[in-house]
Copies of this chain bind each other. A is one copy, B any other.
Amino acid sequence: MVNITFPDGNVRQYEEGVSGLDIAKSLSNSLAKKVLSVKVNNEVWDANRTIMTDATVQLLTWRDTEGKTTFWHSSAHLLAEALQALYPGVKFTIGPAIDNGFYYDIDLGEGRTIRTEDFPKIEKKMLELARQKNTFDRSDISKADALAHYEQLGNEYKTELISGLEDGDITFYKQGGFTDLCKGPHIPHTGLVKAVKLTNVAGAYWRGDEKRNQLTRVYGISFPKASELEEYNRLVEEAKKRDHRKLGAQLKLFAFSEKVGAGLPLWLPKGTKLRQILQDFLMEEQRKQGYEMVMTPHIGKQDLYITSGHFAKYGEDSFQPIQTPKKGEVYLLKPMNCPHHCEIFKTSLWSYRELPKRLAEFGTVYRYEQSGELNGLLRVRGFTQDDAHIFCMPDQLLEEFKKVIDLVMLVFTRLGFGEFTAQISLRDQEDRSKYIGSDENWEKAEQAIIQAAEDKGLKTVIEYGEAAFYGPKLDFMVKDALNRSWQLGTIQVDYNLPERFELEYVGADNQKHRPVMIHRAPFGSMERFISVLIENTAGNFPLWLAPDQAVVLPISEKFIPYANEINERLKQHNYRSTVDIRNEKIGRKIRDASVQKVPYQLVVGEKEVTNQEVAVRRHGEGDRGSVAVDALLEMMAAEM
């Protein structure tokens, strides 16, 4: 008998050789039908693999990330099986699961290609094979036999892979008529795959090396229910509409220029306004919490980054150092603001009474990202962190953490991200050699984070071993309107930089002590935050954030004076308002205002002038009829 421990701590006894599937069946038949794989002592296994010793066991289904991964990896094998049937002689290389689906890299051979037009045929074949409910059978194979198998198939990719593996450590998986070199694990049988969609086809170099063969990468996604594919298709369509790159151009928020450089956003007037409103909002909240703003240059001497330790990580894949006429005087584009803030802290000798010092800056930093990884505002090469560094005594950590959590929660709530969770990253529970700083301080900091999150009622996940080497941290994940998760704000404890910069304060004992630092950024970066904000709101910003809150649309030139009057009234009440004085038909003016998603579109013509009213259209809602200006102002004030 073996003792099986479940995630809830329960222990049950089973026959030696029991499988995850057997265990599931012992609990409930309907559960057994959903099991995709099983986590045995923290390793993911095939659900039908036998368990020979005592173990902790977690049954994985579609609800678990690792269950999905297994499902999609098996779907990659299914894709391969279909391709083998449709493209005889095709050579397979690797076919992993990815965040949202799977792909397989294949060598179709001279003159053959796959186009999106071919997708339906392949999808059909995959579903046909899936319906055969073929099991995935694992077998150990010697290195020699494995090599022989693929040499016979003339597949130089697999033989290259096998050459790098240890004999005794090689397994094949076979489902239906398809066998693959594979470590597994896989789902019990192909029949679990009920819906399939191929999403893309692209070129990919063998082993990512542009000097080697170019392969064909076929991307797909699959689901255990047809309805889930429908939901997926709906979300893809919705996401396309909300694509912040598309909306950024449509709403004239930002642009990119080939001449300025990829990944370097140009903020247009409306985007700049949006950013300023967000920055002002955060600045005001920070002021209330005792933050002080500073400004620092966008470069720093190499020495600064040698002191901070960043230079050691500054490699060939970074923006290269900036030489000057003076030999040995070398600068770097700043990749972060903390070293500059440490130098500001050092300009005075602080008393413990003056701590915490909270130095904040909207600091623009530059990091070279590969061009293929650039993505609108979401992934750029120059971005502005809503950065702050809190220099405090170790005993002040809990209080400061709570304040920062308050601030982050306030920011998220005000900006419409009601649903968020936090990940607490702590030290590895076993190996503590890789962390800098005393055990006592770490203990204090970790407890402070856990305590602060608890006090503030945060929904948290603790991840051991995910802390940075210099301190534990807390990251916020928000869910957007399409149920997508985004990592935004972060709070991080740092014992390292105060050490490296030899920061000090004078304690109550009149002795010098080392402060601890907190790095924090509620938005994360202005660019990233705004891209998520655009996608979450589909560009329909709440009234207080909209760069243009109202536009007055005179029906003809005759009504421009009245339109200007309305506009002035709105401006007197501090609304951002304009008048569309173009010589265009009213229909066109309304259409353009709607494209720009201006919240209040105020039409004025003969009737409105006579009655001293405006015809109100609320974008996204439609007509609200004609009202007096005072009523409009009340309407808008209520919405603010």
Q: Could you list which residues of chain A lie within 8 angstroms of chain B, going by C-beta atoms?
A: 252, 255, 257, 259-261, 264-269, 271-273, 275-276, 292-301, 303-304, 307, 316-320, 322-326, 329, 331, 333, 339-340, 343-344, 346-348, 353, 359, 364, 366, 368, 370-371, 382, 581-582
Q: List the B side residues contacting A348 at CB < 8 Å.
A: 252
User: A267 near B294 (CB under 8 angstroms)?
Assistant: yes
User: A294 near B269 (CB under 8 angstroms)?
Assistant: yes
Q: List the B side residues contacting A323 at CB < 8 Å.
A: 319-320
Most buried by B among A296, A339, A353: A296
Task: Give which listed residue, B272, B300, B316, contacts A325 with CB less than 8 A.
Answer: B316
Q: Give CA–CA (A581, B351) in the complex, Å.
A: 13
Work out how many copies of this chain go into the complex.
Answer: 2
| Chain B residue nearest to A343 in the complex (CB) | B257
Task: Give which listed residue, B266, B276, B292, B301, contacts A347 with CB less than 8 A.
Answer: B266
Q: List the B side residues contacting A260 at CB < 8 Å.
A: 296-297, 300-301, 304, 339-340, 343
Task: Give which listed residue, B252, B255, B265, B296, contacts A267 with CB less than 8 A.
Answer: B296
Q: Give CA–CA (A565, B264) in the complex, Å.
A: 48
Q: Give CA–CA (A319, B317) in the complex, Å.
A: 21
User: A294 near B319 (CB under 8 angstroms)?
Assistant: no
Task: Give which listed residue, B267, B272, B319, contacts A322 with CB less than 8 A.
Answer: B319
User: A266 near B344 (CB under 8 angstroms)?
Assistant: yes
| Chain B residue nearest to A341 in the complex (CB) | B266
| Chain B residue nearest to A276 in the complex (CB) | B293
| A613 → B minimal CB distance (Å) | 28
User: A320 near B322 (CB under 8 angstroms)?
Assistant: yes
Q: List the B side residues contacting A326 at CB < 8 Å.
A: 371
Q: List the B side residues contacting A294 at CB < 8 Å.
A: 266-269, 272
| Chain B residue nearest to A325 in the complex (CB) | B317
On whether A293 and B273 interact (CB within 8 A), knowing A316-B325, A324-B368, A331-B319, the answer reads yes
On whether A264 and B300 interact (CB within 8 A), knowing A295-B275, A353-B582, the answer reads yes
Q: List the B side residues contacting A261 at CB < 8 Å.
A: 297, 299-301, 304, 329, 331
| A358 → B minimal CB distance (Å) | 10
User: B297 near A269 (CB under 8 angstroms)?
Assistant: no
Q: List the B side residues contacting A344 at CB < 8 Å.
A: 255, 266, 268
Q: List the B side residues contacting A296 at CB < 8 Å.
A: 260, 266-267
Q: Give CA–CA (A7, B339) in the complex, Å.
A: 60
User: A269 near B298 (CB under 8 angstroms)?
Assistant: no
User: A295 near B272 (CB under 8 angstroms)?
Assistant: yes
